[in-house]
C-alpha cells in the first residue's frame, strides 16, 4: 500500500525537508502498541540523524481508546504554540493519565498559554486537522496503530528497531540510486 496524502506543511515534522528518508507514523496516543513503538522510533531517529525525517499523523481509535481523540486534540493544540513534539512525548510517557485535567496539566508543564490551549483543543481547526489526518490514513489503508510508511510505502513488518533500520537503509539506497544521473 502507498501513502495517499503526501507530506505537507500541515504535518507535524521532525527533521530536514531534504532528508533521504521520510518515516510517516499514523498513531494513537492511547494505543499500547504506539507506546511500545515510541522509544523505538526515537532510537531510530538517533541512529539515522539528518538522513531521517519523521512525520506524525493522528489516527485515534476512539472506539477502543476513549481518551485518544482528546489526546490528539491536545497534541495539535500544543502544536499551535510550537510544542507538538514535547506534548507528543508527554502523552506517550504518561499514557495512563490522559483525562482532560491531565492534558491541561501537561500544557502548563510545557509553559503553554493554558487558556489558549483549552480553546484550541475545542476549535474547528484542530478537530478538522485530526479528522483529516485520520481520513488520510483510512485512504492509505491504515486500519490499526501504529502504521508506518517509509518514503510513501507501507512498512508491514513488526515495529522492531532492527527491521525498521533495515527498511530505512533500503529506502536510503533506493533514494540515492534514483538521484544519480546516468
Q: What CATH number is attached to the domain comprising 92?
A: 3.40.30.10
Tell me which residue range forms the domain holding 164. 12-174
Mean pLDDT of 88-109: 98
Residue 6 falls inside a structural domain: no
User: Would you place residue 140 in the very low, low, confident or very high pLDDT band (cuts 50, 70, 90)?
Assistant: very high
pTM value > 0.85: yes
**Rounded Cα–Cα distance for residues 6 and 52 (Å):** 16
Q: What is the pLDDT of residues 53-94, one digit of tens each?
A: 999 999 999 999 999 999 999 999 999 999 999 999 999 999
Residue 7 falls inside a structural domain: no
140 DSSP 8-state letter: T
Full strand arrangement of the beta sheet holding 153-155: 12-14, 52-58, 21-27, 147-150, 153-155
Residue 175: all three cell numbers together: 533514494
Residue 68 falls inside a structural domain: yes
For residue 10, pLDDT over 80 is answered with: yes
Say if residues 12 and 132 touch (Cβ distance below 8 Å).
no
Mean pLDDT of 161-178: 89
Amino acid at each position: 500500500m502507498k501513502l495517499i496524502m503526501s507530506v505537507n506543511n500541515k504535518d507535524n515534522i521532525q527533521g530536514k525537508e531534504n532528508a533521504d528518508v521520510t518515516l510517516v507514523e499514523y498513531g494513537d496516543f492511547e494505543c499500547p502498541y504506539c507506546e511500545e513503538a515510541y522509544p523505538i522510533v526515537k532510537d531510530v531517529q538517533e541512529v539515522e540523524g539528518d538522513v531521517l525525517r519523521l512525520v506524525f499523523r493522528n489516527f485515534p481509535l476512539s472506539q477502543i481508546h476513549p481518551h485518544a481523540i482528546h489526546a490528539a486534540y491536545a497534541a495539535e493544540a500544543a502544536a499551535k504554540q510550537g510544542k507538538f513534539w514535547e506534548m507528543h512525548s508527554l502523552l506517550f510517557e504518561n499514557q495512563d493519565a490522559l483525562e482532560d485535567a491531565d492534558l491541561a496539566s501537561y500544557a502548563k508543564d510545557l509553559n503553554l498559554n493554558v487558556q489558549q490551549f483549552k480553546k484550541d483543543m475545542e476549535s474547528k481547526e484542530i478537530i478538522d486537522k485530526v479528522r483529516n489526518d485520520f481520513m488520510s490514513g483510512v485512504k492509505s489503508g491504515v486500519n490499526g496503530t501504529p502504521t508506518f510508511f517509509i518514503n510513501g510505502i507501507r512498512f508491514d513488518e513488526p515495529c522492531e528497531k532492527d527491521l525498521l533500520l533495515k527498511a530505512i537503509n533500503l529506502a536510503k539506497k533506493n533514494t540515492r540510486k534514483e538521484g544519480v544521473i546516468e
